[in-house]
Amino acid sequence: MRKKKILLVLIIFLFFIPILVIASNPPFVTLEHPEANLRDNDGNIAFKCNATDDEKLVNISLYHNISSVWQLNQTQNISGVANYTYFSVSNILNNTYSWNCQAIDNESLSIFSNFNFTFTIGALPHTYLDYPLTQTSDSIGNFSFNCSVEDTYNLVNISLYHNMSGIWQLNQTRTISGTSNFSVFNLVDIPDGDYIWNCLAYDNESQLDWGSSNRSFREGIDSDTPSVILTSPINSTTNYEGQVLFDFNASDISSGITNCSLYFNNTLNTTSSSISEYSSNYFLVSGLTNSDYLWRIECTDLSTESNKGYSENRVVSVIDLTAPVISIDEPQNNTIDLNGDVTFSYGVFDDGYGVDNCSLFINGALNQTNNFITISWENKFDVREITNGNYNWYIYCIDKSPNRNENMSVERSFVVNIETIAPNLTLISPNTIDTDGNITFKYIVVDLNSSISHCDLYINNIFNQSNTNITENSVETFNIYNLVESGYNWYINCFDNTLYQTRNKSDTWNFSVIYDRAPPTINLLYPQDRATITHTKYVNFIYNVNDASDISNCSLIINGSRNVTLTNISKGVTQHLTTTGPLYNGEIHQT
């Protein structure tokens, strides 16, 4: 009998093992885009679906009801255990539609996302419920319902719906026009009770829109006051920062809450109209000075009676023991400065009394103090002409509290290393008279510590042009053409490639432009006019020549014909021209 029981248990165990082994989870699908309730104008939608799975994904399919029936649109293959895909659908007609995605894994397990998403094509009307606010209470029996609507098409009408008769139904419809309008529906003699209402708008494209959600209101005398429960800080709390978060919960069983106010020592401090019932609300108050504060919260409901509810009174004591928080920005630690002008920037923050002053210390010594502090990152000290050396610096700040809380930033280091060797400049030309207005400015530049970044030409103290392609210790040039006749001065500025580009200026040279309008002056020295030469076949003609410009060439003309030409001519110096061939007996005329 015992063997049979053991065999039966073993059979049952083996029977269930396959079921446990093959159990698997289907994929998990999320709809990424378009988000729920999207409104689109052009009718072109990119659908994005995301899927994850324990096994291996196979495909994702898009389903929608754009064709008025729920059906498959398209399927795309995917892989891995986490993936996504896009589906593009174009030319969708104006209407509201639903969509979803289905994912399948390699175990043939499939699933849709938990909820269908809807989207709307075409700019539908947008209806707003302006008044009364939700949970408003009235005891007179008269209510004015205010609804407004906006649209890109022309509006046709707007209607008020409510359930005052016990069923949800149309109350009245107003004709409206334009693309933005509103209507006020006045109802009288409303019986006591709790009701809901909404507005429905139509445009000339037969598109409609309700208010975002139904609103509730109460007719009848509201004697219920708001309930206000303080959460924090607890009674007799001591705060050491001067900034306190006053947290509370407010609710009203009959009407909504229109606003809540914070009181210190029975004096109003601040009021908020953005109150969430049955959840946490708070007032954050900064800059509280040393003192004991008796505080409470007072809330008013939305009823005609404007019922008020009060919290208990609590005490919070503020003692500011928190020092300013300092964060230094520039210069970064171990910065190397190359010109000796340094800006020290920092941020300082204090939630209590604020900051009285901050000081800059360099190598442990006070450098300067700022008594006008901005609680932000926009504070700085400027120090000029710091000499070469290694330095440490920090910022020291004191707040305005009676305790004079103080704090010091972290300490940083920097080095000042100013290059004192500037580029060396030598001018070559021009420094004389030019006769054609086309000038080549020549110079040489050398820098012993760095390369040259660029050199600039100045004429009559005005920048003319720059040269960035510099070869050191070689002749560099600037060219200018067609200068008018005048006197000029010029110099060169050169900059090296150090961080702050050390500069040097050359000497200033002068030159003049005087256009040459007169021919050269020639003096014939030998042979004399009408001279007789014997016993030679070759004659050496001697002369000199002068001109405002350089001489290009000189030619010997004998009996009207060019005999010889020289091109290497020196002005004002005796020159020699020897005939190119023998001369024979006869009369010779030279020019």
CB of 370 within 8 A of CB of 357? Answer: yes
Range 227-318 classified under CATH 2.60.40.10: yes
| pLDDT tens-digit series, residues 366-407 | 999 999 888 777 899 999 989 889 999 999 999 988 888 899
Q: Which residues is 48 bridged to in the sheet?
A: 33, 86
Q: Is 246 exposed, middle or buried (0-12, 13-18, 19+ CB in 10 A)?
A: buried
- Rounded Cα distance between 7 and 13, Å, is 10
Q: What value, to the nearest 5°, has the Cα angle with vertex 534 and ends 530 and 540?
A: 70
For residue 190, which phi and psi values (nearest 5 degrees)? -75, 125
Cβ partners under 8 Å of residue 427, min gap 6: 442, 443, 491, 492, 506, 507, 509
Which fold does the domain 325-416 belong to in CATH?
A: Immunoglobulin-like (2.60.40)
- Please state whether beta strands 28-33 and 45-52 pair in parallel, antiparallel, or not at all (unpaired): antiparallel
- Rounded Cα distance between 376 and 346, Å, is 8
DSSP string, 224-241: PPPEEEEEESPTTEEESS
For residue 7, which phi and psi values (nearest 5 degrees)? -65, -40
CATH number at 424-513: 2.60.40.10
Burial 326-352 (b: 16+ CB within 10 A, else e): bebeebeeeeebbbbebebebbbebbb
**Torsion (CA) 431, 433, 439, 444 in degrees, nearest 10:** -20
For residue 22, which phi and psi values (nearest 5 degrees)? -90, -5
**For the chain, how far is it from start to end, CA to CA, in angstroms?**
155
- Rounded Cα distance between 455 and 504, Å, is 10
| pLDDT at res. 13 | 43
| pLDDT at res. 305 | 86
CB of 416 within 8 A of CB of 389? Answer: yes
Which fold does the domain 126-219 belong to in CATH?
A: Immunoglobulin-like (2.60.40)
Q: What value, to the nearest 5°, has the Cα angle with vertex 456 and ends 455 and 461?
A: 145
- Residue 576 to residues 534, 559, 564, Cα–Cα distance (Å): 19, 19, 11
Q: Which residue has the tokens 């440490």?
A: 392
Cβ count near 130 (within 10 Å): 13
**Rg (alpha carbons) of the chain, rounded to whole number:** 49
Q: Which residues is 488 bridged to in the sheet?
A: 511
CB of 287 within 8 A of CB of 305? Answer: no
- Tokens standing for 260? 């809540």
- Rounded Cα distance between 29 and 112, Å, is 6
Compute the half-sphere exposure of residue 130: CA atoms within 13 Å on the CB side of its CA.
13
CA proximity to 292, closest of 321, 254, 258, 319: 319
Domain residue ranges in the chain: 28-121, 126-219, 227-318, 325-416, 424-513, 521-578
Q: Is 518 exposed, middle or buried (0-12, 13-18, 19+ CB in 10 A)?
A: exposed
| pLDDT at res. 14 | 41
CB of 292 within 8 A of CB of 214? Answer: no
**Torsion (CA) 28, 34, 38, 41 in degrees, nearest 10:** -160
| pLDDT at res. 300 | 95
CA proximity to 239, closest of 162, 315, 325: 315
Among the four given CATH numbers 2.40.110.10, 2.60.40.650, 3.40.980.10, 3.40.50.2000, the one describing domain 28-121: 2.60.40.650
Which 3-state string (H, E, C) describes 258-327? EEEEEEECCEEEEEECCCCCCCEEEEEECCCCCEEEEEEEEEEECCCCCCEEECCCEEEEECCCCCCEEE
| pLDDT at res. 477 | 96
pLDDT in tens, the chain (591 residues): 444 444 443 344 444 444 444 457 889 999 999 988 887 777 899 999 999 988 889 999 999 999 989 999 999 999 888 889 999 999 898 788 999 999 999 988 999 999 999 988 876 788 999 988 888 878 888 889 999 999 888 999 999 999 998 999 999 999 999 999 999 999 998 888 889 999 999 998 888 899 989 998 888 888 889 999 999 999 999 988 788 999 999 998 878 899 999 999 999 999 999 999 889 999 999 878 888 999 999 999 988 888 999 999 999 998 888 889 999 999 999 998 878 899 999 999 887 778 999 999 999 999 999 998 887 778 999 999 898 899 999 999 999 888 888 999 999 999 998 766 789 999 999 988 888 889 999 999 998 878 899 999 999 999 999 999 999 999 999 999 999 989 999 999 999 887 667 788 999 999 999 887 778 888 888 888 887 777 566 778 888 888 777 788 888 888 888 888 888 888 778 878 777 666 654 444 444
| pLDDT at res. 17 | 43
Cβ count near 160 (within 10 Å): 19
- Rounded Cα distance between 232 and 124, Å, is 45
CA proximity to 360, closest of 387, 386, 380: 380
Cβ count near 515 (within 10 Å): 13
CA proximity to 459, closest of 417, 511, 388: 511
Please state whether 246 falls in left (phi above 0), alpha (psi between -120 and 50) or beta.
beta
Can you tell me whether residue 380 is helix, strand or coil?
strand
- Tokens standing for 371? 């008594």
| pLDDT tens-digit series, residues 270-306 | 999 999 988 999 999 987 888 899 999 999 998 888 8
